[in-house]
Chains A and B, each alone.
Chain A
């Protein structure tokens, strides 16, 4: 395990913007005084004439992005998830979503793995908020390779996209040589027959690790990576429900309104089987090292294993 490369997806975001700047002349980047943290500073260094700091004023930043998009630019409005989806929700809804403008929102520092800054900055509600906006696409990449591919896919897609990135360095599990990103398509990482673990973001790696442990314990787990939470790959979810008869979801987000809710809604409509959700259980986080917080809040391979075992008797 010593040779596992770890990288924060916010870093991937900044690098992808820089790498795509030449090819996409209409790409512009906005930030709200967090360029060093969101890593848009990497783009700023390479392309200062297309970088605009809006200051600590996220509402205006989202509106400026809307105006830029209305005039043919492809703005990436960047700040922490708390402020992008939380503070600026109504501007995103009315000035970006309703006119369906081609704005990309780069939301970093999502979830509990913000760590020491504590509850005010740990946004576990952003996916729920963004899911309610008609026409909003939501991408939550699991690693560096997927994050970079997601930025490119967002650029090639015409319409508003919310992209969720993390502060914590996470293992790079995809191969950049062979990886292909398809917007709206789930990825089966491992075939199994007893249960499907549907994961997103940094929980994808935990799900893969959990599946290995479960196999040793005689449980065959299928693992699905959902990078595009909206539109959700409903067909794949329904197929998994039919094949394994039990679904466990795993996300670094509230269990209310996120991936787990989206999967449960789909399963209920298309192929009802039990869905058990792992996520932040309707509570606030608190300060601490990210790795410890993830364990404490059950966002770990160990808890996936435990939850799967406890849920097996729910199968009909």
Chain B
């Protein structure tokens, strides 16, 4: 990836993160931690990988993304707003009565390919979309992002079995391995480890990646495209709360919104990061 592309993605990701803070602050609820850990990956997908057009969100040939870890909707909404599906002002009414942006992704929101949020279900829908693509001989790709806590759901492994059996080579599942879930560290709650071995045993091609390094993200998704016989699982090593110092690696920021003071500090930090990138 060339330096200017990388810098551009870093800037967009910074703006995406500010949208996450804006949304959860105004909602007075929501899930900033896991939203911030997937912000770089979503930015890369929507601005450097996926074949999507905000002017034609229902194009049947488009790539699709199912946010299986639907509670991190603020990141998805923020990247969709950056991409131009709707105004970034919508983030200010996230979760409000009468607002377009629901607490979890809803298929009726422009750019959202599937309603999700009840954990374990999005990957199944992504399998169905990938299967439909195969049936139609269409070349679109389907991406789905899961939490590392989410994969404790049994349905995920039903889907993993299905995807490998039907050779859904147009499917890429990304596991956001930030190591934390609501009740604590994933290894202490009810460990889903070893994650890479599990997906490999289920017949997937497994790639690990640094979720906050665009060069490595690019390497991982490029490798994913070269796989022709299996579905691909990308296990991304990420930092929950990435980009906001006091949120990083803190399980308490899984589902807590910033107050005014915390909002100001988070925005100041992200603005400083953006300024540095622009400087």
Interface window among A57-65, A167-175, A230-238:
A57-65
Given contacts A28-B135, A72-B132, A99-B114, contact A66 B161 (CB under 8 A): no
Contact indicator A70/B125 (Cβ below 8 Å): yes
A90 to B121, CA, bound (A): 10
Do B155 and A60 touch across chains, with their CB atoms under 8 A apart?
yes
Hey, which chain A residues are within 8 Å of B159, CB to CB?
Answer: 60, 63-64
Chain A residues numbered 90-128 whose CB sits less than 8 Å from any CB in chain B: 90-91, 94-95, 98-99, 101
Whether the Cβ atoms of A52 and B155 lie closer than 8 Å is no
Q: Answer yes or no: A67 CB below 8 A from chain B CBs.
A: yes
B186 within 8 Å of A by Cβ? no
Chain A residues with Cβ below 8 Å from B120 are 59
CB of B81 within 8 A of chain A?
A: no
CB neighbours (8 Å) of A68 from chain B are 128-129, 131-132
Closest 10 CB pairs of A and B: A67-B128, A63-B124, A71-B132, A60-B158, A57-B158, A67-B125, A64-B128, A67-B129, A99-B107, A68-B128
Q: Which of B108, B130, B162, B166 has the most CB of A within 10 A?
A: B162
A64 touches B124 (CB 8 A): yes
Check if B131 sits within 8 Å of A90, measured CB to CB: no
Interface presence of A55 (CB below 8 A): yes
Tell me the chain A residues, 43-77 only, with Cβ under 8 Å from chain B: 50, 52, 54-55, 57, 59-60, 62-73, 75
Complex Cα distance A94/B153, Å? Answer: 15
Scoring B residues 34 to 71 as 1 if CB is less than 8 Å from chain A, else 0, what string do you get?
00000000000000000000000000100010100000
Chain A residues in 8 Å Cβ range of B125: 63-64, 66-67, 70, 95
Return B153 CB to nearest CB of chain A, in Å: 9
Distance between Cα atoms of A69 and B128 in the complex (Å): 8
At the interface, yes or no: B118 with Cβ under 8 Å from chain A? Answer: yes
Closest to A55 in B: B161
Distance in Å: Cβ of A60 to nearest Cβ of chain B: 4
The distance in angstroms between the C-alpha atoms of A60 and B168, with both chains bound, is: 15
Q: What distance in Å separates the Cβ of A188 from its nearest Cβ neighbour in chain B? A: 39
Cα A55 to Cα B128 in complex, Å, equals 15
Q: Give, as a whole number of angstroms, the nearest-CB distance from A249 to chain B.
A: 34
Partner of B121, one of A52, A57, A75, A95: A95
Binding site for B on A (CB under 8 A): 28, 50, 52, 54-55, 57, 59-60, 62-73, 75, 90-91, 94-95, 98-99, 101
Q: Is the CB of A60 within 8 A of B124?
A: yes
* Residue B206, interface by CB 8 Å: no
Given A28-B135, A73-B132, verify A95-B115 contact (CB < 8 Å).
yes
Can you list 8 A-B pairs with a CB-CB distance of less than 8 A? A50-B135, A63-B121, A64-B124, A68-B129, A70-B128, A72-B132, A91-B118, A94-B118
Cα distance A58–B166 when bound, in Å? 16
A-B pair number, CB within 8 angstroms = 108
**A63-B128, A66-B128, A95-B115 known, 11 other contacts, Cβ within 8 Å:** A54-B158, A59-B158, A60-B155, A63-B123, A63-B155, A63-B159, A67-B114, A67-B131, A91-B124, A91-B155, A95-B121
Q: Which residues of B contact A73 (CB under 8 A)?
A: 132, 135
Given contacts A91-B121, A98-B115, contact A67 B161 (CB under 8 A): no
Residue on A with the closest CB to B114?
A70
Q: Which residue of B has the minimal Cβ distance to A57?
A: B158
Alpha-carbon distance between A65 and B124 when the two chains are bound, in angstroms: 8
Contact: B162 with A71, CB < 8 Å? Answer: no
Residues from chain B with Cβ under 8 Å of A94 in the complex: 115, 117-118, 121
Q: Which residue on chain B has the smallest CB distance to residue A100?
A: B107
Give chain A residues whose Cβ lies under 8 Å from the Cβ of B106: 98-99
What's the minimum C-beta distance from B133 to chain A, rounded to whole angstroms?
Answer: 7
- A98 proximity list for chain B (CB < 8 A): 106, 115
B132 close to A57 (CB less than 8 A)? no
Q: Which residues of A contact B123 (CB under 8 A)?
A: 63
Q: Cα distance A58–B116 when bound, in Å?
A: 18
Which residue, B114, B155, B165, has most C-beta atoms of chain A within 10 A? B155
Q: In the complex, what residues of A have CB within 8 A of residue B158's CB?
A: 54-55, 57, 59-60
Q: Are B161 and A57 in contact (CB under 8 A)?
A: yes
Smallest CB gap from A53: residue in B: B165
Q: CA–CA, A73 to B138, complex, Å? A: 13
Q: How far is A54 from B129 in the complex, measured between Cα atoms in Å? A: 15
Asked if B118 and A65 sit within 8 Å, CB to CB, the answer is: no
CA gap between A57 and B120 in the complex, in Å: 13
Given A70-B107, A70-B113, A99-B115, CB of A65 within 8 Å of CB of B121: no
Smallest Cβ distance from A71 to chain B, in angstroms? Answer: 4
